[in-house]
């Protein structure tokens, strides 16, 4: 069972505050680190969080607004200075490549490791690993914004060890076959995998909005998320501002969380105008009970749903 946790490395929208840095979220999944957005200054909280510099790493940029991407340059440089040698895969819209390559040229910095920039030009699967995939979906913002989902594949069901043992099957390969859905022959009899395992256990699904209006397309995209991290730049009073600037209010995020049948909603990307974010939690809770307000350096563990 792979442990997974979210670490918030920046929860302010557009402008940082005394306590909130610009957008960044790290998902630590087993030995791998997946970073979504790299707002300016996220490397300081990355260092504070002691995540570690040498993990297998992928970075995803939702969109090319400064408060979501500028910190990438410093992060890459710091990882290099600190001795990283493993490559990093970076995903984002076409301007991301320009941003990285032109700045590397102008600021003239060298990296001790390889970066592989994956230009995202359409929706769908952008990463497929053994245990999970990452998909993207177009959001509705003032700039091209991709929302992301991390979806684990189903794990095999519970293995009824005792039942197999009782038949005298010796431990080893045969156990593994049965556990992973393969029927085997034992003493001339066919043992059917499904008779020795419970139903497949669903993987976890995490959704990350980036900056966007709530849309019915995103409702579908985020269907059944265990955790939905959604932007809540504005409070209800500023609904018109939210519309004009292609952002969401806390209530709008909550309605979307409900409609998408998500289990838990984490709000982030708060406008610097709000001193007390608790009010936004109350607004959201009118529509969706399981709301959490993200603060910088919060760590949220993600258990399996069963």
Give the residue numbers marked as catalytic: 67
- Token pair, residue 266, equals 């984490």
Tell me whether residue 21 or residue 207 sits nearer to a second copy (CB atom).
21
Q: How far is the CB of 271 from a second copy (least distance, A)?
A: 10
Site membership for a second copy, residue 69 (CB under 8 A): yes
Tell me whether residue 22 or residue 25 sits nearer to a second copy (CB atom).
22
Q: How far is the CB of 295 from a second copy (least distance, A)?
A: 15
Site membership for a second copy, residue 98 (CB under 8 A): yes
Query: Closest Cα partner for 203 from 228, 224, 178?
Result: 224
Pairwise CA distance, residues 62 & 175, whole Å = 43
Site membership for a second copy, residue 77 (CB under 8 A): yes
Pairwise CA distance, residues 57 & 137, whole Å = 21
Stretch that binds a second copy, among 29-37, 99-107, 190-198, 211-219 (CB under 8 A): 99-107
Site membership for a second copy, residue 17 (CB under 8 A): yes
Tell me whether residue 73 or residue 253 sits nearer to a second copy (CB atom).
73
Q: In which residue are the tokens 């570690």 written?
A: 52
Q: In terms of C-beta distances under 8 Å and separation of at least 24 residues, what long-range contacts does 77-81 make, across chains too?
A: 77/109, 77/111, 78/43, 78/47, 78/53, 79/53, 79/111, 79/113, 80/109, 80/110, 80/111, 80/112, 80/113
Pairwise CA distance, residues 261 & 96, whole Å = 32
Site membership for a second copy, residue 102 (CB under 8 A): yes
Q: In which residue are the tokens 């307000």 written?
A: 293
For binding to a second copy (CB under 8 A), which residues are involved? 14-18, 21-22, 40-41, 43-44, 47-48, 64-67, 69-71, 73-74, 77-78, 81-82, 95, 98-99, 102-103, 106-109, 143
């Amino acid at each position: 069972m792979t442990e997974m946790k979210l670490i918030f490395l920046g929860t302010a929208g557009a402008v940082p505050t005394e306590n909130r840095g610009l957008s960044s979220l790290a998902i630590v999944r087993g030995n791998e680190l997946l970073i979504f957005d790299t707002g300016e200054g996220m490397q300081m909280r990355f260092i504070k969080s002691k995540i570690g510099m040498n993990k297998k790493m992928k970075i995803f940029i939702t969109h090319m607004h400064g408060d979501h991407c500028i910190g990438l340059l410093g992060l890459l440089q710091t990882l290099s200075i600190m001795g990283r040698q493993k490559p990093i895969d970076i995903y984002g819209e076409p301007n991301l490549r320009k941003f990285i390559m032109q700045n590397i040229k102008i600021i003239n910095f060298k990296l001790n490791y390889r970066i592989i920039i994956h230009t995202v030009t359409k929706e769908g699967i952008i990463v497929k690993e053994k245990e999970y995939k990452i998909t993207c979906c177009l959001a509705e913002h003032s700039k091209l914004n991709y929302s992301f989902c991390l979806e684990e594949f189903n794990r095999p069901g519970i293995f009824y060890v005792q039942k197999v043992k009782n038949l005298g099957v010796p431990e080893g390969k045969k156990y593994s076959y049965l556990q992973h859905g393969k029927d085997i022959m034992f003493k001339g009899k066919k043992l059917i995998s499904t008779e020795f395992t419970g139903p497949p256990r669903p993987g976890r699904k995490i959704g990350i909005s980036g900056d966007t209006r709530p849309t019915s397309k995103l409702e579908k995209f985020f269907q059944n998320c265990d955790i939905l991290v959604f932007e809540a730049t504005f409070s209800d009073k500023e609904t018109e501002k939210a519309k004009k600037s292609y952002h969401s209010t806390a209530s709008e995020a909550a309605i979307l969380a409900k409609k998408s049948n998500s289990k838990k909603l984490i709000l982030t990307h708060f406008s610097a105008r709000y001193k007390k974010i608790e009010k936004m939690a109350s607004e959201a809770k009118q529509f969706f009970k399981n709301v959490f307000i993200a603060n910088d350096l919060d760590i949220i563990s993600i258990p399996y749903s069963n």
